[in-house]
Copies of this chain bind each other. A is one copy, B any other.
């Protein structure tokens, strides 16, 4: 029965992203997160069940935004290649825009216990469904191969994006993640395209498209 709303809730989320990105999950004491958020230690527990719940909530809030945003952006696009391109773009720009968040989601979140994996499972499954939907639509419309297994396709798509994002976060060099979008798109588009499909090549990826 934590509150899970309000200004302090958000402040704690943001503080946690910062502190955890800098010190890792296990290196981030609740007291430190509280100080960074400008609230008392006990206040944390008015908004979150426990320390793990903070991590889960970061995931839910932030990836939730992505998942909520995606259908709006993708549904109105007819061409499935364009949809794929935009999906990748959206995924990468979420991280590009908040490197700390990217670090927490790609690295720290995975350091955690089974209970955390369970806590995020529902949200991640929704993202999975979203990607599978994109694949299915492409198959139905004739853009993609008709005999794909959407689940395997989803794993290839998500796995590719995830690996690219992780490498980006861990890299010392601060290259542009969005710059990878087109290349990743090329790979995935060719992997999915129907044989003889005239043009699986990337539509121009433009931010916000």
Contact = CB atoms under 8 A, between A and B. Distances in A.
Interface of A: 24, 26, 110-114, 117, 149, 152-153, 155-156, 158-164, 167, 170, 180, 183-184, 187-188, 190-193
Given A159-B159, A187-B191, A190-B193, 15 more contacts: A24-B113, A26-B113, A152-B183, A152-B184, A152-B187, A153-B187, A155-B163, A155-B164, A156-B160, A156-B164, A156-B188, A159-B160, A159-B162, A159-B163, A188-B191
A4 to B, nearest CB: 19
Contact of A191 (B110, B180, B191): B191
A149 B26 contact: no
A134 to B, nearest CB: 15
- Count identical subunits in the complex: 4
A149 B24 contact: no
A121 to B, nearest CB: 9
A193 B155 CA distance: 20
A149 B179 CA distance: 13
Contacts of A180: 152
Residue in A112, A152, A188 with the greatest tally of chain B CB atoms within 10 Å: A152
Contacts of A155: 160, 163-164, 167, 184
Contact of A24 (B26, B114, B153, B193): B114
Contacts of A159: 159-164
Residue in A113, A167, A191 with the greatest tally of chain B CB atoms within 10 Å: A191
A193 B193 CA distance: 12
